[in-house]
Amino acid sequence: MRSLSDFSGFIFDLDGTLLDSLWVWREVDIVSLKRRGHDVPDDYAQAIAHMSFADAAKYTIERFQLSESPEALMDEWYSMAMQEYHTRVMAKPYVRAFLEHVQAQGIPMAAATASERTLICPALERIGILDFFQNVTTIQEVTRDKSFPDIYLLAAERLGVAPENCVVCEDILAGIQSAKSAGFYTIGVEEPFSLPNREKIRQHADRYIESFAELL
């Protein structure tokens, strides 16, 4: 197993990896679909986990045969999530300690997120971890979702680090698989909402952790 100090950069997913925030989206899903007469299917959260807001909205409209526009659905999701991100979303245990540990070694860090910058950055700033990142790269800045490595490659390029010298920390299977395919060293991070794919994440990731305390 490679030592983490051997790497020249770290890229972190945010929702479900650094941030305890997926409960927000569970609540949004329940309320939004209930308004339209639907329960949340068991596979729904995993189906949209790697998608951008726009792609998730299009998928939802197609799957549930809704009549509204993706923009209207996204506006509804955003308005429901904004208050929670701005006031209640917190970092997972030991996240700050690990970010401080990486920073102390002089290793640059980036975030790679499928969430909107206007949701994520206020939360990171309130929690006090925004300044750890040299860049926050969003899925809106690339043309494909996290089932492709584009977002990680852009974040690494902005760090000036080659994929083979960079770690990607992710909680979703699609992200682990795509980052690994591009040459990144991958760390799967346990997240309750990703437990259905835990064994597959373990198989594909270079390393799997239940908590960032394991990396200190």
Tell me: the pLDDT tens digits for 19-67? Answer: 999 999 889 999 999 999 999 998 898 889 888 888 999 999 999 999 9
Task: For residues 128 and 124, give the distance between their C-alpha atoms in angstroms, rounded to a whole number.
Answer: 6
Write the pLDDT tens digit of every residue in 151-205: 999 999 999 999 999 999 999 999 999 999 999 999 999 999 888 899 999 999 9
Q: Are 30 and 40 in contact (CB under 8 A)?
A: yes
* Reported pTM: 0.89
Output the CA–CA distances (angstroms, integers) from residue 212 to 81, 160, 181, in the order listed. Answer: 26, 25, 24
As a whole-number percent, the residues of the chain with pLDDT over 90 amount to 81
Task: For residues 158 and 186, give the distance between their C-alpha atoms in angstroms, rounded to a whole number.
Answer: 18
Q: Between residues 12 and 197, which one has the greater pLDDT?
A: 12
Helix axes 173-181, 150-159, angle to 10 degrees: 60
